[in-house]
Amino acid sequence: MTEQIALRPATSDEIPAVLALWARAAKGTSITDDEAGVAALLARDPDCLIVATAADGPAADGSAAAGPAVLLGTVIAGWDGWRCHLYRLAVDPGHRRRGIGAALLAAAEERFATLGGRRADAMVLDDNALGHRTWQSAGYHPEPQWSRWVKPLAS
């Protein structure tokens, strides 16, 4: 069953709702999963955080006229001019298995194709079995020869 949804870039006034959705629906957290981090993301690339809302719900177009939209899902489709990176594919647990994640990924891949991207990669926690199934069903596969190396930077 595919739920009728609207897809669009997130707005800065939705940052609290995005963070609340991630707290409910995403596994794990990142150092940038806070208001300042998401605000910096949107300031750098206003179109990279794609949200799904109910197509007939309040403010499905992102306007504030009808009140705040209820976020059903998100994906960050980051493009650095060289590579396409996917983060925070998250669907509200009460709305899963309705095509929202697939629609978000399709929108992200369309964005990448428009920008000239040739390959997308996704950050998925090793112990996120649900995430592994989701990404695999969308045609993604792990590359076991790679490991992620990180270093928190002083702010």
Write down the pLDDT at residue 50. 98
In a domain, 148, yes or no: no
The CATH code of the domain that includes 31 is 3.40.630.30
Q: What are phi and psi of 47, to 5 degrees?
A: -100, 0
Residue-level pLDDT at 56? 77
Q: How confident is the model at residue 45, as a pLDDT?
A: 97
As given in the structure block, the two tokens for residue 95 are 């709305």
Domain assignment present for residue 146? The answer is no
Kindly state whether residue 63 falls inside one of the protein's structural domains.
Answer: yes
Q: At what angle do helices 35-44 and 15-25 cross, to 10 degrees?
A: 120
Q: Which residue range(s) make up the domain with 123? A: 5-137
pLDDT confidence of residue 3 = 66
**The residue to which tokens 């079995």 are assigned:** 129
Query: What global pTM score does this model have?
Result: 0.88
Total structural domains in the chain? Answer: 1
CB-based contact 46:111 (threshold 8 Å): no
What distance in Å separates the CA atoms of residue 39 and residue 35, rounded to the nearest whole number? 6
User: Looking at residue 93, what is its pLDDT?
Assistant: 95
pLDDT at 64: 53
Q: What is the pLDDT of residue 107?
A: 98
Segments in the chain below pLDDT 50: 60
Q: Is residue 65 part of a domain?
A: yes
Q: What token pair was written down for 25?
A: 């629906």
Per-residue pLDDT at 152: 81
